[in-house]
Amino acid sequence: MIIPAVTPNATYDFADEVRHGLSRRGQKELPSKYLYDEVGSALFEVISYLPEYGLTRADERLLRRYAGEIVDRVPAPVAVAELGSGSGKKTRWLLEELCRRQRTSYYPVEISRSALDMCERELRDIDAISIVGFEREYLDGLSEVTTYRQKNQRLLVLFLGSTIGNFDRPAGVKFLADVRRILDPGDFLLLGTDLEKPAEQLVRAYDDELGVTAAFNLNLLARINRELGANFDLSQFAHVARINRKARSVEMHLESRRLQRVKIPAARVTIEFQEGETIWTESSHKYSAMEMFKTAREAGFRCEAQWIDAEWPFAENLLVAA
Ligand code: AVI
């Protein structure tokens, strides 16, 4: 079952954020959450298979290998909420392990309806599972999930795939603290974080040879054309992946190849781009393994255990609400 979005004004919000992000003085920006429409979600799924981008496979390897250990640390009865479930494929390992021990309610929370549908199709064959998806922003969805939990049930919240890395560091801590406020003491958060790696490896991961990440990034302009009636000429923008050493992140930008003007009727603006000017569309922050212990404390959690992938440095951190 899927609880659909309650916001009838989704197109209006998109137009508003596009106008706001592109009319700024200085660096133009678009929120990375808009990368994930139906086409973007499908392209991200392809990215997860690219040899250059090992993040999703590392995440899945850890969950497959340590599902038993992770579940051992979370006393039953437990319900599972997942923030940004994506296709749900890597969550299967944890859910199967849990469902062998108890009947399990699983609550994926996603703003992308197509990802929720994909996730439900992927996981509904697991024995002893019930799935209720929420088409919501993460925190709104999680608050609603808590109204479904039974009295003695703990909540295990999954925030996998290093999606936390798409927030800047202070915003990441704030987000975790907001999650903590929704939870009860003793609830769990399993948090996936991509670890630091050499710059060249990161640039290759975010600017792959086949151009899938470039298409993923450019699709944001195509989406603005489709949904807001804009006239972006995609051939006049180039995908760029850059390292930001100070922020310890990789940034994705779309760089204008020439001086040009773009009309976005539903956002009631015309935007001028200088040659070489960029739109910043996403940051992926990378972490040290130790830093999560401190970050967890700052947000009101305790990091109880950590599992690290040897092939592609990535950590699964099990946090307990203090
Ligand atoms: C979803 N998120 C954690 C991915 C990342 O690595 O930041 C999105 C992505 N962007 C480009 N490639 C993948």
- The model's pLDDT over 248-292, given as tens digits with 9 standing for 90+, comes to 999 999 999 999 999 999 999 999 999 999 999 999 999 999 999
**The pLDDT of residue 118:** 86
Pull the structure tokens for residue 225: 């054309």
**The pLDDT of residue 306:** 98
Chain-centre distance for alpha carbon 11: 21
**The pLDDT of residue 95:** 97
**The pLDDT of residue 112:** 80
3-state secondary structure of 173: helix
3-state secondary structure of 259: coil
**Ligand 1 midpoint to CA 101 (Å):** 33
Cβ < 6 Å from ligand 1: which residues?
Answer: 47, 55, 161-163, 165-166, 206, 213, 282, 284
Residue located nearest, by CA, to atom 2 of ligand 1: 163
Q: What are the residue ranges in the chain where pLDDT is below 50?
A: none
* Best probe residue, ligand 1, of 45, 55, 239, 240 (max atoms within 8 Å of C-beta): 55
- Residue 265: CB atoms within 10 Å: 12
Indicate the angle between helix axes 169-182 and 291-298, nearest 10 degrees. 50
- Residue 246: CB atoms within 10 Å: 6
**The pLDDT of residue 8:** 52
Which among 46, 81, 35, 4 is positioned nearest to 321, based on CA atoms? 81
**Ligand 1 midpoint to CA 186 (Å):** 30
The residue type found at 13 is D
The residue type found at 189 is L
Q: What distance in Å separates the CA atoms of residue 198 and residue 308, rounded to the nearest whole number? A: 17
* For residue 75, cis peptide bond before it (omega within 30 degrees of 0): no
Q: What distance in Å separates the CA atoms of residue 18 and residue 15, rounded to the nearest whole number? A: 5
